[in-house]
Amino acid sequence: MTTTEGIDLMDLRPFADGTDSRIFAALRDEDPLHWNAEPNGSGFWSVTRYEDVKTVATSFEDFSVTAGTQIASRRAEGEGARSIHHVDPPEHGPLRGIVTPHVRPVKIKSLEPDISAVIDSLFDAALDAGTIDLVSTITSQLPLVMIGRLLGAPLKDCPNLLQWTNQMASEDPDYSDGPETAARARDEVFGYFRGLEQLRRECPADDLISVLTAAELDGVPLTRGYLDAYYLILMVAGNETTRNLLSGGVQLLHENPQWWDYMRNNPAKIRLVVEEMVRMTSPVLSMRRTATRDIEMHGKTIRQGDKVVMWFCSANRDEKVFENPDEFRGDRFPNEHLGFGWGAHACLGSNLARLEAKLFFTRLVERGLSIDVTGDVNRLQSNFFRGIKTLPVEVNQIHV
């Protein structure tokens, strides 16, 4: 009997208390293709090594997204038209390509003044305010405002976007009463964006809703289902990834304070520190595929129709790829992590997330501010997103 025989990755406690890295180290070493039973489900295989995760992520002929990308057999957008997350190549490319030009690096860079202004306003409100919750007051607000602007959602509606995102991103009891909560939130999201969509059809603007309502596939306008699914995916992905990265990054710096000094002394290298935050945080813990045929791996047989889960958080700490992988090294280079996924379905908003995080820590350094953690971290109960629900901090002016 190996030490991995009793491992159950449906047990959310290690993710909530931040000890899951020990479990994945054992799986990489002893059981790199691990079978996991699933309550009310068929069970799933887990791939935990870096190269195996890349293989599954790129082999869409063998590992399909069409049956879902979460462990549970459900799709966030419901049973209507599939979102870009749930369409394989070659169909995936044209659908993703509708938005890709609007999130490419040169386009995102033009948002830099707006992003910096939002960051400064958040810091201004938090400075000398005493102990605040980092997540609700700062790290959830920045991506929320920016994805709202990109989509074309008015600022006054951003609290609704945040609530819907929380309800759909996990079944943590602080946000959800179960699958029915996500289903209700999904319907509310669809209704909300259909209202904005109607306004954009009458008066187009420089936002993604206008882009999507005018878009065509093979000369045909996007169907109702495609539009609904796109709005939902952009809203959730645009919020969760950056919020988790910023919150997790502050916690990592609290645990490794020497890198605050490094950033202050080397502001041009903050981008390297951000990449290490992405690697160690792994904002998206896992993604699922479904085998399209019988496949041999590590002496075992994955049967056609079996679920296969890629654990990005484990791949990002693979000892064969990263030296001392459990050590936070803000100057790690090269740093070929899989924190934004890999292959055709890599994170569409990674350029925006990187820029928001880089500017967030750059403005802290430039303004001579510190974020000091004053209490315990409260992590999300999820094996899908690496989230922090609350983190008490103080934002202070320092002398540098």
**Neighbouring C-beta atoms of residue 40, cutoff 10 Å:** 6
Report yes or no on 7 lying in a domain: no
Give the tokens for residue 64: 């399909």
> How many independent structural domains does the chain possess?
1
Report yes or no on 4 lying in a domain: no
Segments forming the whole domain that contains residue 304: 13-397
CATH assignment of the domain containing 228: 1.10.630.10
Report yes or no on 5 lying in a domain: no
**How distant, in Å, are the alpha carbons of 27, 89, 142, 179, 341 from that of 22?**
9, 35, 32, 30, 21
Q: At what angle do helices 350-366 and 141-151 cross, to 10 degrees?
A: 130
Partners of 379 in beta bridges: 388
CA 323 to mean position of chain CA atoms:
24
DSSP secondary structure string for all residues of 290-330: EESS-EEETTEEEPTT-EEEEEHHHHTT-TTTSSSTTS--T
Report yes or no on 76 lying in a domain: yes
The pLDDT, as a whole number, for residue 170 is: 80
Report yes or no on 288 lying in a domain: yes
Report yes or no on 3 lying in a domain: no
Indicate whether this model's pTM tops 0.85.
yes
CA 349 to mean position of chain CA atoms:
9
Distance CA 317, CA 21 (A): 8
- Strand spans (E) along 105-251: 132-133, 216-217, 220-221
Report yes or no on 8 lying in a domain: no
Query: In 3D, which of 76, 222, 236 has the Cα closest to residue 147?
Result: 236
The pLDDT, as a whole number, for residue 80 is: 61
The pLDDT, as a whole number, for residue 82 is: 66
Distance CA 105, CA 241 (A): 17
The pLDDT, as a whole number, for residue 81 is: 61
Residues lower than pLDDT 70 in the chain: 1-2, 74-82, 399-400
- 3: CB partners within 8 A, 6+ apart: 26, 30
Report yes or no on 2 lying in a domain: no
CA 178 to mean position of chain CA atoms:
21
**Neighbouring C-beta atoms of residue 295, cutoff 10 Å:** 18
Strands across the sheet with 392-397, in order?
Answer: 132-133, 392-397, 369-373
Distance CA 215, CA 213 (A): 6
Lookup result for tokens 């999820």: 382
Contact by Cβ (8 Å): 278, 347: no
DSSP secondary structure string for all residues of 32-52: SEEEE--TTS--EEEE-SHHH
Lookup result for tokens 């870009």: 84
Strands 63-64 and 286-291 turn out to be: antiparallel
Query: In 3D, which of 36, 47, 31, 48 has the Cα closest to residue 11?
Result: 36
The pLDDT, as a whole number, for residue 156 is: 92
Distance CA 106, CA 128 (A): 36
Lookup result for tokens 């056609």: 304
